[in-house]
């Protein structure tokens, strides 16, 4: 009886998988190396037309070959990442496998620690944060605060940690806001955590 139940469960899982695959759009028909092709794929997935502002939320960075990062538009924020096309597959921003798939596409598995540090920094800066302003040098707003440009380090357990400063979108607040963020990647390239380690604003009311 247990054997028959196992067969039935496996059969149902197989049928469900086929059904999901049948409903999923065939992204290989789209030219994901162009903005028009990416937006056509986005509309096929969503089943509706994109608004003109969101159509501009596409990043095809030359440092991320085979990857197209996309986002939605908000008037008080600008473009906000919603996902990425990696090769012929689409990953939502909240999908656990997004960063791992992106880093794998960049050659993570065979890379040495120093190469992984470069890949991880590149993915964070030009992928996850592509629609935000990443600071490469200190400006006058920092005053006496310490500053470091984007950098990464490798931990003994195989993790890779990327740290950088970003300037947040102005939104409806006065002044300028900054955050120092830390992204931690596991040895397999999956994103373990993304936290704000420090922040400040030029508007005292935001402190």
Element (H, E) at 152: strand 151-154
Query: Does 180 have pLDDT greater than 80?
Result: yes
Q: What distance in Å separates the CA atoms of residue 61 and residue 79, rounded to the nearest whole number?
A: 15
What's phi and psi for 159, nearest 5 deg?
-75, 155
pTM above 0.75, yes or no: yes
Cβ–Cβ < 8 Å for 182, 162: yes
Tokens 């502002």 correspond to 53
The pLDDT of residue 96: 84
- The CA-to-CA distance between both ends of the chain, in Å, stands at 65
Can you say how many angstroms the Cα of residue 134 is from the centroid of all Cα atoms in its chain?
A: 14
In this predicted model, what pLDDT tens digit does every residue of 60-119 receive, in sequence order? 999 999 999 999 998 888 999 999 999 889 999 988 899 999 999 999 999 999 999 999
Q: Is 94 left (phi over 0), alpha (psi -120 to 50) or beta?
A: alpha
Average model confidence (pLDDT) for the chain?
A: 87
Q: Is 45 left (phi over 0), alpha (psi -120 to 50) or beta?
A: alpha
In this predicted model, what pLDDT tens digit does every residue of 12-49 receive, in sequence order? 333 333 333 333 345 889 999 999 999 999 999 999 99
* CA nearest to 100, candidates 88, 76, 84, 80: 84
Helix, strand, or coil (residue 202): coil
* CA nearest to 201, candidates 142, 144, 137, 129: 142
């Amino acid at each position: 009886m247990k054997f028959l139940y196992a067969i039935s469960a496996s059969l149902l899982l197989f049928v469900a998988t086929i059904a999901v695959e049948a409903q999923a759009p065939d992204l290989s028909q789209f030219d994901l190396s162009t903005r028009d092709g990416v937006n056509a794929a986005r509309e096929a997935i969503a089943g509706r037309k994109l608004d003109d502002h969101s159509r501009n939320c596409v990043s095809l960075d030359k440092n991320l070959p085979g990857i197209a990062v996309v986002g939605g538009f908000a008037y008080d924020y600008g473009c906000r990442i919603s996902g990425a096309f990696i090769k012929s597959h689409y990953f939502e921003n909240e999908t656990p496998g997004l960063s791992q798939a992106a880093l794998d596409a960049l050659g993570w598995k065979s890379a040495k620690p120093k190469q992984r540090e470069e890949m991880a920094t590149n993915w964070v800066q030009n992928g996850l944060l592509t629609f935000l302003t990443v600071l490469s040098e200190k400006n006058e707003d920092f005053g006496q605060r310490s500053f470091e440009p984007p950098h990464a380090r490798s931990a003994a357990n195989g993790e890779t940690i990327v740290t950088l400063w970003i300037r947040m979108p102005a939104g409806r607040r006065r002044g300028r806001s900054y955050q120092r963020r830390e992204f931690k990647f596991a040895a397999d390239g999956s994103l373990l955590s993304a936290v704000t380690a420090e922040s400040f604003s030029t508007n005292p009311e935001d402190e």
